[in-house]
Structure 1
Amino acid sequence: MDLVTPHIGLVFWTTLCFAILLFILGKYAWKPILAAVAEREQSIETALLRAEAVREEMARLTNENEALLKSARAERDAILSEATKVKNQIIADAKEAAQKEGSRQIELARIEINNQKAIAMADVKNQVASLSLEIAEKVLRKQFEDQKKQDELVKDLLRDVKLS
């Protein structure tokens, strides 16, 4: 049982060594170790605070980006809507202009046709008049070969003129 029961000298020297070790550790090691631990705790806490601030900033930037995206989409939709309206207006204006131009071209063609028709009718009338004069001239020449027929025609014409 000697092994289990320590001697008073051993306890004294063990306690003395332990106290000296505690004094040396307290004087030279614990202060720097505790300072390093406190500094490490402070840097971890600072890093955590920065990380939280960065997370909040990222959340704010994400919200701003979403708002900007919504705004950009709304603006894009408005621009596309306006472009569609302008396109439809241009198409409607072009159709209207084409219809007006078509109507004008049809009217010009109708006028040209009427003019050509009038010219053709005048030409036909002139040709008919010319032919009628030629026929009348030939008929009259044939009838006026005789002097007696000429006198009778003049008398008939004079009677018609006096009656009118």
Structure 2
Amino acid sequence: MDLITPEIGLLFWQTIVFLVLILLLAKFAWKPILGAVKEREDSINNALSSAEEARKEMQNLKADNEQLMKEARAERDAILREARELKEKVMADAAEEAQGKAGQIVSQAKESIELEKKAAMAQIKAQVASLSIEIAEKVVRTELSSKEKQHQMIDNMLGDVTLN
């Protein structure tokens, strides 16, 4: 018997053992191995779909965040614009009020000056009148110191009255 040349009986038994081994592997090993491979494939697919969903959600959050930033910037600009307008309005109102008060003070000062001017004029007139009376009194005393001058003055006055 030669070990290199196979015999038919040996080939028959090797084939039967191989078929039994394949049946045993198919029954006990292939199903769990294929199940594990299928389970691994499913978990990988689930992980990929979860990653894709997370990526989409991140894009949505990023877009929402950008929109919120745009709205916040627009609101900030609106608030700044309102603040500027309010500042300008307050400044204009204050300037107008100050100008009105200044005008009122000027008009009061003019009235006060006018009243003081009238009072001074009245005082000056009174002093002029009193000085005029004193001067006239002195002149009349000097002129009327003699009888002849008195008669002459009366005649002059009577002459003036008839002429008018």
TM over 0.5: yes
**In 2, Cα distance between equivalents of 1:105 and 1:14:** 129
Q: CA deviation at 1:16?
A: 5.4
CA distance in 1, matches of 2:111, 2:14: 135
Kindly provide the amino acid, as one letter, of the partner of residue 34 in structure 2. L
Q: What is aligned with 1:38?
A: 38
Aligned residue identity for 1:31: K
Please give the alpha-carbon distance, in whole angstroms, between the structure 1 residues aligned to 2:120 and 2:5: 153
- Distance in structure 2 (CA, Å) of the matches to 1:11 and 1:90: 111
Unaligned 5+ residue runs, structure 1?
A: none
Cα distance in 2 between the residues matched to 1:156 and 1:6: 192
> What is the TM-score with the length of structure 1 in the denominator?
0.76
By how many angstroms is 1:45 displaced?
Answer: 0.8
Tell me the equivalent position of 1:120.
120
For residue 55 of structure 1, report the CA deviation from its aligned partner: 0.9
The match for 1:98 is 98
- Percent of counterpart pairs with the same letter? 49
Partner of 2:109: 109
State the Cα distance separating 1:108 from its structure 2 match: 2.3
Per-residue deviation, residues 76-101 of structure 1 (Å, max 9, x unmatched): 22332232233223323322332333
Q: What is the TM-score of this pair, normalised by structure 2?
A: 0.76
Q: Which residue of 2 aligns with 1:61?
A: 61
Which 5+ residue runs of structure 2 have no aligned equivalent?
none
Q: 2 CA distance for matches of 1:7 and 1:67?
A: 81
Letter in 1 for 2:89: Q
Distance change >3 Å, CA 6–CA 119, structure 1 → 2: farther
Partner Cα distance (2:96, 2:148) in 1: 76
State the alpha-carbon separation in 1 of the partners of residues 157 and 35 from structure 2.
153
Alpha-carbon distance between aligned partners in 2 of 1:14 and 1:124, rounded to the nearest angstrom: 156
User: Which residue of structure 2 aligns with residue 84 of structure 1?
Assistant: 84
2:154 counterpart of 1:149: no
Q: State the 1:20 CA deviation.
A: 4.3
